[in-house]
Structure 1
Amino acid sequence: MRKVTLNQGILKYFLLSILIFSLSSTYAQEDEASAESTESAIPGADPVAGKDLFNSLCAACHKPYKDGVGPALHGVTERRDMEWLYKWIKNSQELIASGDSEAVAVYNEWNKVSMNAFPQLSNKDIDDILAYVEQPKPEPKKKEAEAGAAVADGGGGSGISNEVIIGVLAFVLLMLAVILYLVNKTLRKFAEVNGVEVEEKKEKGKPIWVAFAENQFLIILTVGVMLLVVTWFGYGALMNVGVDQGYEPIQPIHYSHRIHAGDNQIECKYCHSSARKSKHSGIPSLNTCMNCHKQIAEVSDETATEEYSKEFYDGEIQKLYDATGWDPSTQSYTGETKPVKWVRIHNLPDFAYFNHSQHVSVGQIECQTCHGPVEEMEIMYQDSPLTMGWCINCHRETNVKMEGNAYYEKIHEELAKKYGVEKVTAAQMGGIECGKCHY
């Protein structure tokens, strides 16, 4: 009996060992497979370091998986010899001048556009770059919002619409009214059978409107209150004529300040360059947009939101291409352009003078002071009221920056003595005189 038990124990341990070995082999194979999937296409190269080099040196003209100003780089190590690539990347013009047939063919194929020379790159740096571009194209990520929507569409969600709740409440109230009516009717029948007299409603007194009409004090009081209310709300309505705070029009091409000024931290004055030296900030030309969007034809999955999908942003970039006549497949302009009818958001009356350069360049006022948190706006809207009172309050509270301006420094000394202060506000320098803004 003891022997049988021992043999059974040995058998159990043997089977358990086989199971553990098989599982460890499976996991080892999976680890090897995953290691193979992330392994660099070039031995010893670092794709992570290559990504930084690619973004800083190559991304202006090349894309890993699509043609740009130059060809797509994915698969280049299979098409070209590594030694040839080293020479081409370090100095392509020297290789072309030597008469190399491959170099001349590439130069002619891509419209004889000269590639920048990168003699500072070592072979190891080039290996890192090539290892990055040779990585398999990543699959697009599905947004959690899309997954949640799929669950809701499949009936997995537990949300109840407001219409259903309102309908149920209306049905309950109707049933309560019916029950009350039936109870009242039943009680009256019981009272009639038992000989109980039901007290009827007393005769109505004088109607309330008659009593009101006979009371002159109430009439005078009511008229006075109504006049005050009409005056108050009428004054408020008239004061808001021409005040478009919160105005948020839909533009013909969707432009996300959240992505450009927020995520990518593009300076406002890069696009609105005339704000530095002109009265108006100006609408950026589409050529300014194409400085970047010749290469950026689509957005990343991380850029998309629940409200605006990746496909939506890509479609808006295509609208930009249609307007400028840009053909991304040939990387050239067709010459067929279309005007873009942008909708103006901030608009002052013609009798009010405002100079952007005076505030932006001289006053060094941040754009967000007047335009609000632009870097957070998906759709641009008017954040401030832009009324005369709002401007005057700003002039009363804002100190003038005197650094680097000898003219202001001289005036500042005199005004500082006059007002007995260290800092002089725009109002103290004449910023609230009528002629400054109305002339």
Structure 2
Amino acid sequence: MKEGKYRDQLAKVLGFSLLLILFFSQSVIAQEDAAVEQSDITEVTEGSGAGDAVKGKTLFNQNCAACHALDRKMTGPALANVESRLADDEGLDKAWLYAWIKNSPGMIKSGDAYANKIYNEYNQAAMTAFPTLSDADIDDILAYTAAPVAAPAAAATVVTDAGSDAKSSGISNELILGALALVFALLVFMLFSVNKTLKRVMASNGIDVEKEFGNRTPIWKAFAKNQFLVLVTSILLLLTAGYFAYGWMMQVGVDQGYQPIQPIHYSHKIHAGDNKIECKYCHSSARVSKTSGIPSLNVCMNCHKSIYEYKGNPEGPSREDLANGYTNEFYTGEIKKLYKAVGWDEENQKYTGESQPIEWIRIHNLPDFAYFNHSQHVSVAGLECQTCHGPVEEMEIMYQYSSLTMGWCVNCHRETNVKVEGNEYYEKIHAELSKKYGVENLTAAQMGGLECGKCHY
């Protein structure tokens, strides 16, 4: 009866522990979802006027954000409350804004005083005209510019606080681990209790526990006396040790999975994934050169002259990003590192000439005796970068995806068909091989791609 009683207690403890774990996990998830939802709600605050600030934000990001920000000077002036400022300071009404936005060069040529003032102030670079924007679209944009600028920052703060070690949520990882430790301690206690109860039951039934189990030969002694089992086990251990030793030695010099931390955090997931930037826009020399090259900081500044802060994915940060500290403030801080390295003065929108070199850490590095030409594979063979480098559009931190061993390259040359269409050189080789050997699909291996001198010179 006692044994059954303890079993019931053990079942109750396990059930209660599982309920605790589920409760804690659901509480954390619910609070993180609430934080993200709150950020989405407060991201855009509707402004005054007839326009729709929510639609205006979309139109602003599509048409204006490349040159303007709400709260700071960029290529063009800050646009926060631009309608009321122009009305109060210059006496200009909304009709002037309609005309300026739709045809700024025409306003300058017409001799409009304020249009020419802006034109001369900003290096005599006329603003792009937007004749396709309707008056209603402009009303929406103006409504967005009239909205409080601080609202998105407050939303970002809510998300950041929710993701930084769960300090403000009331449920921390330490508390969850403590609950799991308590469950484990209870399980150990119950096992000892059940063992003690079973021994007591056996003793009450006249069973001598020591006599029943104490005189048995230990299993290791029985194993040692069986020479056949010892021989077979020794052979298996030697073979297993040899297998793992060979595998370890074959990995010498193979850096698959190598993932160094760079001096400036660069997210391929954001650039190549979320923003769909083509790999060869940054690594342009991959088309024409042996190496893919490290992009110069000027390439980065083509975009980051205007993109001075990270405003996040429209769908909100993921729990994984929040857990790793990849918040909007983190990415914005990395952009500031770029500005410092290239010598960019944000306030005056110009270069200072005081640049600093960035010591990037190389990830993919073939031995000196191995020859590889990017242009041959990218421009001639038409291979995608992901063929060798893996799904870079999903990588927050870049790492070496493939082994880049000789066997890996050889297998690719054997299995990948060469694109002969539109290439007279390959078409001629294919025709000769087809005539002589009946080759249907042409591979690099059939063209001598397995010869030692192709890669080792």
Whether these two folds match at TM > 0.5 is: yes
Whether 1:392 and 2:398 are equivalent positions in the alignment is no
The equivalent position to 1:426 in structure 2, one of 444, 448, 451, is 444
How is 1:328-407 mapped onto 2 (pairs within 5 angstroms)? 328-407=346-425
Larger mean CA deviation between 201-210 and 378-387 belongs to 201-210
Q: CA deviation at 1:161?
A: 2.4
Residue number among 319, 339, 344 corresponding to 1:321 in the alignment: 339
Counterpart Cα distance in 2 of 1:288 and 1:375: 19
The counterpart of 1:78, out of the listed 66, 84, 108, is 84
The aligned residue for residue 37 of structure 2 is none
Structure 1 residues 158 and 290, CA gap change in structure 2 (3 angstroms): closer
2:246 counterpart letter in structure 1: Y
Residue 254 of structure 1: SS of its match in structure 2? coil
Higher mean Cα deviation, 258-267 or 420-429? 420-429
Number of residue pairs aligned between Structure 1 and Structure 2: 396
Tell me which moved more, 145-154 or 235-244: 145-154
Contact 1:65 1:137 in 2 (8 A): no
Out of 236, 248, 260, the position equivalent to 1:249 is 260
Does residue 250 of structure 2 align to residue 232 of structure 1?
Answer: no
What do the CA deviations read for 1:223-264 (whole angstroms, capped 9, x no partner)?
432321221111111111122222222211111111111111
* Residues 424/172 of structure 1: CA separation in 2 closer, same or farther (3 Å cut): closer
Q: Residues 152 and 285 from structure 1, CA distance in 2 versus in 1: closer, same or farther, beyond 3 angstroms?
A: closer
Counterparts in 2 of 1:47 and 1:231: CA distance versus 1, 3 Å? same
Alignment gaps of 5+ in structure 2 = 1-44, 87-91
* Shift in alpha-carbon separation, 1:132–1:258, aligned structure 2, 3 A: farther
The change in CA–CA distance for 1:422 and 1:226 in structure 2 (over 3 A counts) is same
AA partner of residue 233 (structure 1) = F
Q: Which residue matches 2:13?
A: none
For residues 279-321 of structure 1, the C-alpha deviation after alignment (integer angstroms, 9 at most, x for no partner) is: 1111111111110011101122436443211111111111111
Give, in whole Å, the separation in 1 of the partners of 2:210 and 2:354.
Answer: 90
Match of 1:270? 281
For residue 121 of structure 2, what is the amino acid of its counterpart? E
Displacement after TM superposition at 1:53 (Å) = 6.3
TM value normalised by structure 1: 0.75
Does structure 1 residue 173 correspond to structure 2 residue 188? yes
Find the aligned partners of 2:110 and 2:220 in 1 and give their Cα distance.
Answer: 108
1:66 alignment partner in structure 2 = 72
Secondary structure of 1:59's counterpart equals: coil
**What are the Cα deviations for residues 32-84 of structure 1, in whole angstroms up to 9, with x where unaligned?**
xxxxx85774x6x7878876765555433222432111101233333432465
Q: Does 1:118 align with 2:129?
A: yes
Alignment RMSD:
4.1
Q: Distance in 1 between matches of 2:257 and 2:162?
A: 33
* Code of the aligned partner of 2:400: Q
Letter in 2 for 1:225: L
Alignment partners' CA distance in 1, 2:177 and 2:54: 50
Cα distance in 1 between the residues matched to 2:425 and 2:449: 16
Aligned residues of 1:77 and 1:130 also touching (Cα < 8 A): no
Question: 2-side partners of 1:313 and 1:124: how far apart?
Answer: 36
Partner residue in 2 for 1:136: 147
Whether 1:259 aligns to 2:262 is no
> Aligned-pair distance for 1:271?
0.5
Matched letter for residue 345 of structure 1: I
Counterpart amino acid of residue 309 in structure 1: T
Distance in 2 (alpha carbons) for counterparts of 1:428 and 1:370: 21
Q: Which amino acid letter does the alignment assign opposite residue 232 of structure 1?
A: Y
Q: Distance in 2 between matches of 1:165 and 1:123?
A: 60
Per the alignment, residue 285 of structure 1 pairs with 296
What is aligned with 1:106?
118
1:173 Cα offset (Å): 2.4
Partners of 1:67 and 1:362 in 2: CA distance: 45
Cα shift readout 1:187-209 (whole Å, capped 9, x = no counterpart): 98998xxxx99859877879956
Question: Where does structure 1 lack aligned partners over 5 or more consecutive residues?
Answer: 1-36
Counterpart of 2:245, as a letter, is G
Alpha-carbon distance between aligned partners in 1 of 2:421 and 2:261, rounded to the nearest angstrom: 41
**Cα deviation, residue 136, structure 1:** 1.0
Give the whole-Å Cα distance in 1 for the aligned partners of 2:165 and 2:223: 64
Other-structure match for 1:25? none
Could you tell me how far apart the structure 1 residues matched to 2:432 and 2:289 are? 30
Task: Output the CA distance in 2 between the equivalents of 1:235 and 1:118.
Answer: 68
Find the structure with the greater CA-based Rg: 1
Q: Deviations over 1:123-167 (max 9, x none)?
A: 848845853653414622366785588988554689962344234
CA 131–172 in structure 1, closer or farther in 2 if over 3 Å, else same: closer
